[in-house]
Amino acid sequence: MIAALLLLIPFLTALVLVAARPAQARPIALVSSLASLAVVLYAWIGYSGGMVIHYDLDWVNAWGLRFVVGYDGIGLLMVILTGVVFPFIIGAGYGQAVDRPAQFNALLLFTQAFLFLVFQAQNALLFYIGYELTLIPMFFLLLLWGGEGRRAITMRFFIYTLFGGLALLFGIVYLLTQGNGNGDFTALAQLSLPANTQVWLFWALFLAFAIKLPIFPFHSWQPGTYYMAPLQGTMVLGAVLLKMGLYGVYKLVFPIVPAGVEHWRTTVIVLALIGAVYGGIIAFRQNDFKRLVAFSSLSHVGVMCAGLFAWNAYGISGSFYQAFAHAILVVSMFYIVGAVQERMGTTDLGAMGGLKGPAPRLAALFLLVVVNAIALPFTQSFVGEWLMFAGLWQVDGWLSFFALTTIVLGAIYVLYTYQRVMLGPDHANAALKDAGTRDHLYLVPLIATTLILGVYPGPILDLLDAPVQQLLSSLSVH
Amino acid sequence: MHPCNNFYQAYRYTEMSILVLLSVLGVVLLYLGLFNNRGAIAGVSIAGLLAAFVLIAANWHLESPLFNGIILFDTYARSYSLVMIVVTVLLFLFGIDYYARVKENVAEHYALMVFSLIGGLLISSYNNLVVLFLGIEILSIPLYVLAGGKRDSFRSGEAAFKYFLQGSYASAFLLMGLALIYGATASFDLATIEAFSTANAGGQHLIFLLGLFLTLAGLAFKVAAVPFHFWSPDVYEGAPTLITAFMSTVVKTAAFAAFYRLIADLQLPSAVETMLVALTICTLFLGNIVALRQTQFKRLMAYSSIAHTGFLLLAFLGTDARTPDVLFYYLGTYSVATVGLFIVLTLAKRAALGDEHIRIFRGLFRSNPWIAVAALLMLLSLAGFPLTAGFVAKYRVFMLSLANGYLWTTVFAVVMAVVGVFYYFLVVREAFTPSEQETRAIPVAPLNWLVITICGVAVVVLGVMPGLLRM
């Protein structure tokens, strides 16, 4: 029931929005996403550990495709993340003037439905189907509502991601031909392929996720796309879509090609950290607020990927904890970008300054978001980062050191940005509006979440603990 | 004899009656044209095709060899026949509107397509190489005429001539190949040739080998496999759009049915296997890469058709029991998507006063939202996106070739599939980018709307429930 609701609520609402094109598209979409959130919270309350399978139906068994949906703790965390973030993403539309809002919101809801499918699929092909389907609404969001250069950038984003997707498909088909043709994750994990096969198969499976995250050197599509995308589209990309990469690694790479992971994981960690440091340095050099946040996202993702490939309890839990924190952070950061743009009429940092004068409350809210962005203690990001550094430390102290530099870099560019926007030379018009009810309604819950989960991370860590332990113990068997 | 088939006893040779029915249909159409009875032509031809459809479907379990066993209407042949007939019906439904604007020789067009279809039925059901050759000629000769259907168009004439010239070469290859096979095996009968190939599995029988090479080259011409593809882009571009659609769906399906029927049970010598791998790789590469540079929609579809030939050839490699079904599904779904797209093209082209550049699709979503969505679904299917039929088709082909150990060829095909997505999405991008100018809705006749809708919905339904289309 829960799975059906999660898949159908957004999907059917989106269909209605496309077909009927009502004037109140945005409120309808918002209500739909809130309904999904209610279902998600209900699922969370009812969750008592282990793997929950909601449906286990035959589809086309002959090719390994079965409709198996459910979740373990990490899957549920991803479902929660999707459920929590989407009301905010749709709500962010209230500050934006979007033409054809019905279609726009319908595409957002389609994305949500497909994401719920991805995070609940327990069959590799079903996962792949959801994974590829998310591309289509994104393609149209970028193509029709994107900014300058959207035609070329959209195609690049699309083909880049699709290339990874087809590599993944190839990997899955290969796995199916090796086993008895059952594509369920549980069956695939039993395969234990020869080590030299795993070494190359690792890249077939991982490439899609490396591009989706993205990690260095597969990142070249990312900054341009984030910058060009409409604000809400960027939120979807940064907050949820890239988490499919982390989740996919956990679901499809770790249990199935452990020897391949063992062989490549230092390489991946190093690449991810190169990307993280590089992203941080480039972010510092940006003169555009939106671009800066895009590069900071690149930096964060690099650390998350490195943490994941630390391949121990600290690293994996930290990575997923940070995935959640990062989603909240991305949404609030981009909301601030939007709010500032609404007031200053630009995202160019050089033309900003002194916004704190006319808008002190917005400045305060921004500061609270910044605190999370630089992973200060008692924020959500701190918990995630700390766990990841601990995980990387177990692998090698130096890796942890390089990961830590991203925090320093992060502090530099985020605080510098804060200074350039809010303080500094006075470019702001004294008549500018301060943060209103809408901004508070939006940002206060997000900030509250980061602070509460920063002080008391228990509820999320409880979800992560069991699956991570199970994964690691199954690996030690191999 | 089937016990409960008393009624059908009179129709023991149902298959023959189908061929007779269709031949008579063609002649009747010519007479209708002679008496200038234009209104009835499309209706009569569709009714005739549906009658043939019913005849085949109703006698599903009969399997009687005809003419001393040179034709065998088995499940394989019946399945392909049904698909070819259905696709032809879809095209004829579209033809009602299409030919409403053509002044003369309409009946001849319909009749020639029906004759060509008969050739298609023959080459999907032959059991003897002579019938293969006859069928291919019956299939092709009407097409040479049809390609030149626009008599006052220079390009149409060029297309017809080019097609005829190269088609004749291919026929000569084929005939030479068949003669050599006969020389080696002393028979035209498929079963005998199969037995011969098994008996000579290890040895290198040179005449037989040469015969196979030439025969397969002739067939590769018909399916437009590289390097035998040169006719296809020019002919596709020059021929009237309806004929192009017919060639890229019905004719292609028939040619592949014939191709696979020949090699299905043959023990192919390793040299021929190598030739097939080379054909596959060349076709995949050239079809996809050259398609990238196309801006004329018909040429784009021609190269995309070549690219799909590559994927279909991939399924030929290392055949096993699943292959016929995989091919059948692929061809059926490919045809449905292609027919729909060609109809959309014709309508857009008409609105753009004959322009065929893909920019004519710009703003389609604004002006005709549903047509744009249907076109999107068909393009997604050709590109092989999940939940469309094209995905299932490609997926099964990859699965087949991997299971038969063609690892690197499959890797190559996957890379080429990405390239394929790119050029289909160039069209999608045009259709969904708002036009700078005021866009007016493209007029769509209700019947055309219906056919486009059928095609658009079919690719999704078949993609979600692939079991519906099987042998």
Q: Is residue B226 part of a domain?
A: no
Mean pLDDT of A340-348: 85
Residue A424 has pLDDT above 80, yes or no: no
Residue A96 has pLDDT above 80, yes or no: no
What confidence tens digit (pLDDT) does each residue in A443-468 have? 999 999 999 999 999 889 999 989 99
CB-CB under 8 Å, A173 with B425 = no
- Positive or negative, the CA dihedral B371, B377, B380, B381 is negative
Per-residue pLDDT for A429 more than 80?
A: no
Q: Report CB contact under 8 Å: B414, A170.
A: yes
- Is the N-terminal amide bond of B227 cis, ω within 30° of 0? yes
Across the interface, do A128 and B466 touch by the CB < 8 Å criterion? Answer: no
Q: What share of chain B is helix, strand, coil (3-state, %, to 5)?
A: 75, 0, 20
Query: Best residue in B421, B426, B435 to probe A by mutation, most A CBs within 10 Å?
Result: B421
Residue A155 to residue B418, Cβ atoms within 8 A = no
Task: Render the burial of A222-231: b for 16+ CB within 10 Å, e for the rest.
Answer: bbbbbbbbbb
Distance CA A114, CA A135 (A): 9
Q: Chain A partners of B396 at a C-beta cutoff of 8 Å? A: 63
Q: Is residue B227 part of a domain?
A: no
Residues of chain B falling short of pLDDT 70: 1-15, 61-64, 202-203
Contacting residues for A45 by C-beta, under 8 A, at least 6 apart: none
pLDDT in tens, A306-318: 999 998 899 999 9
Residue B133 lies in a domain: no
- Using CB atoms, which residue from A129, A155, A163 is nearest to B387? A129
A159–B399 C-beta distance less than 8 A: no
In a domain, B154, yes or no: no
- Which residue, among A132, A151, A166, would best test binding to B if mutated, counting the most B CBs under 10 Å from its CB? A166
Element (DSSP H or E) covering residue B88: helix B75-98
* Token pair 């994964």 in the structure block, residue: A471
Nearest to A173 among B402, B426, B466 (CB): B402
pLDDT at B462: 94
For residues A358-380, one letter each, b for 16 or more C-beta atoms within 10 angstroms of the residue's C-beta and e for the rest, the string is: bbeebbbbbebbbbbbbbeeebb
Residue type, A418: Y
pLDDT at A190: 86
One-letter amino acid for residue A382 of the chain: F
10 Å CB burial of residue B417 (0-12, 13-18, 19+) is buried
pLDDT score at B130: 93
Please count the structural domains in chain B: 1
What's residue B3's pLDDT? 45
Q: Do B432 and A132 touch (CB under 8 A)?
A: no
| Closest-CA residue of chain A to B365 | A144
Closest by alpha carbon to A412, among A251, A257, A281?
A: A281
Interval A70-79: pLDDT, tens: 999 999 999 9
Q: Tell whether B110 is covered by a domain.
A: no
Cβ contacts (< 8 Å) between A154 and chain B: which residues? Answer: 429
Residue A161's contacts (CB-CB under 8 Å, 6 or more residues apart) are A135, A208, A211, A212, A221
Cβ of A151 within 8 Å of Cβ of B417? The answer is no
d(CA A54, CA A6): 11
HSE value, Cβ hemisphere, 13 Å, CA-based, for B234:
16
| Weakest mean pLDDT among A296-305, A433-442, B240-249, B443-452 | A433-442
Burial of B85 (0-12, 13-18, 19+ CB in 10 A): buried
* Residues paired with residue A60 on neighbouring β-strands, in sequence order: A65
Cβ-in-10-Å burial (0-12, 13-18, 19+) of B68 comes to exposed
Task: Parse chain A into domains and list their residue ranges.
Answer: 1-165+212-247, 261-478
Residue of B407, B414, B422 to mutate for A, most A C-beta atoms under 10 A: B414
For testing contact with chain A, the best of B362, B366, B418 (most A CBs within 10 A):
B418
Interface test with B, best of A65, A154, A177, A178 (most B CBs within 10 A): A177
Q: Is residue B383 assigned to a domain?
A: yes
Nearest to A139 by CA among A114, A111, A117, A109: A111
B335 vs chain A: nearest CA distance in angstroms? 22
Query: Minimum mean pLDDT among A330-339, A402-411, A419-428, B451-460: which range?
Result: A419-428
- From CA A389, how far away is CA B161, in angstroms rounded? 72
A chain contacts of residue B467, beta-carbon cutoff 8 Å: 60
- Classify burial at B2, counting beta carbons within 10 Å of its beta carbon; exposed 0-12, middle 13-18, buried 19 or more: exposed
Q: What is the pLDDT of residue A428?
A: 67
pLDDT digits (tens, 9 = 90+) for A189-240: 888 889 999 999 999 999 999 999 889 889 889 988 999 999 999 999 999 9
- Interface residues on B facing A, Cβ-Cβ cutoff 8 A: 380, 385-387, 392, 395-396, 398-399, 402-403, 407, 410-411, 414-415, 417-418, 421-422, 425-426, 428-429, 432-434, 466-467
Note the pLDDT tens digit of each residue in A216-227. Answer: 889 889 988 999
Residue B18, Cβ density class (10 Å: 0-12 exposed, 13-18 middle, ≥19 buried) = buried
B341 lies in some domain? yes
pLDDT of residue B13: 59
Sign (positive or negative) of CA dihedral B199, B201, B207, B212: positive
**Of residues A152, A113, A409, the one with CA closest to residue A275:** A409
Contact A162 B421 (CB under 8 A): yes
DSSP H/E element including A150: helix A150-178
Gap from B386 CA to chain A (nearest CA, Å): 5
Q: Which two tokens stand for residue B169?
A: 């070469």
pLDDT digits (tens, 9 = 90+) for A49-66: 888 888 888 888 878 888
Residues of A in contact with B429 (CB under 8 A): 143, 151, 154-155
Q: How far is B429 from chain A (nearest CA, A)?
A: 8
Chain B residues in contact with A132 by the CB 8 A cut-off are 385-386
> Residue A423: is its pLDDT beyond 60?
yes
Sign of CA pseudo-dihedral A13, A446, A332, A426: positive
The domain of B451 spans: 270-471
Nearest-neighbour CA in chain A from B418: distance (Å): 6
Helix (H) or strand (E) holding A58: strand A52-60
Chain A partners within 8 Å of B425 (Cβ): 139, 155, 158-159
Give the CB-side neighbour count of residue A138, counting CA atoms within 13 A.
34
